[in-house]
Amino acid sequence: MTDVRHDWTREELAALFALPFADLIFRAQTVHRRYFTPNEVQISTLLSIKTGGCPEDCGYCSQSAAHETGLKATKLMDVSAVVADAKAAKHAGATRFCMGAAWREPKDKDLDAVCEMVSEVKSLGLETCVTLGMLTLPQAAKLKGAGLDYYNHNIDTSPEYYEQIITTRTFQDRLDTLDAVREAGINVCCGGIVGMGESEADRVGMIHALCTLPSHPESVPINMLMRVEGTKLAGAASIDALDFVRTVAVARISMPKSFVRLSAGREYMSDEAQALCFLAGANSIFYGEKLLTTPNSDAHRDRRLLARLGMTAMAP
């Protein structure tokens, strides 16, 4: 029987969350080893190519114009500056380079510049990913023509909890962009954020929305909320580390061939919590001092942790 299913029910996913912790981790690790080399992790770098001033009101986001976070909006970076950062990322061990712009959706003139960035970064031998907000099919096709490997567009949370976090676009808007990306032939990078005050049922709902898509996202970032002063969710309670690990494990079991990316929030995690996430099936991390605008785990700490765990960076 194949592990790759698209007919998971919420009840089945809730039962996974409810397993004794050791049983859940054993199952997740067993599935992980079927599809991935167990002690390898992909190193990714994320660069903000256009920061701040976004008209969306995402409750977690420091870049929303609706929030007073002290962040100054910037213009789109020059292509040469992005390429220089990509070269530095590759030298530091990254094999995947992600570029994010704080837009509701890109304008065509801006998309031309992003396509040039994608082409140049791709020529360095790096896997490319961008996140630019909502896309139309013609825009997605243009990015595909430039050589884009992945497009990131997270659903963030469950369909039911979504409007508690964002009111300026709908959950269906998110799915429409994913459909355009998929139709254009680009790999989908889509996950969510935990620790936003959602219930366990909402974590089930988020994973259910992902693992019942016609094709699983090839990349599933699991983010822990970064609480930023001035945002709507600045005062959210911390999520229990083991609950976060459980979310990673259920994502791994339900989407066995996907990269499960341990994304935002590692700054808050102990080495032990991160080790449990790897054991639960996470096999990618973001490397570097920042994730867009928020702090990231120190690169020296990451290298030490991977060495202590006997883990190595995935080859290009």
Catalytic residues: 54, 58, 61, 98, 129, 189, 261
- CA–CA distance, 62 with 41 (Å, rounded to integer): 28
Biggest CA–CA distance in the chain, Å, is 53
**Residues near 112 by Cβ (< 8 Å), separated by ≥ 6?**
none
What φ, ψ does residue 236 adopt, rounded to 5°? Answer: -60, 145
Q: Are 195 and 244 in contact (CB under 8 A)?
A: yes
Please count the CA atoms within 13 angstroms of the CA of 84 that sit on its side-chain side: 5
Residue 257: closest CA among 299, 209, 309, 217: 217
DSSP letter string, 75-89: PPPPHHHHHHHHHHH
d(CA 255, CA 190): 12
DSSP summary character for residue 286: E
27-30 contact pairs (CB < 8 A, 24+)? 27/249, 27/253, 28/248, 28/249, 28/250, 28/252, 28/253, 28/279, 28/280, 28/281, 29/279, 29/280, 29/281
Alpha-carbon distance of 94 to 31, in angstroms, equals 26
Return the closest-CA partner of residue 181 out of 230, 132, 221, 228: 132
Look up residue 267 and give its DSSP letter. G
* Residue 158, CA distances (Å) to 127, 154, 296 in order: 29, 11, 25
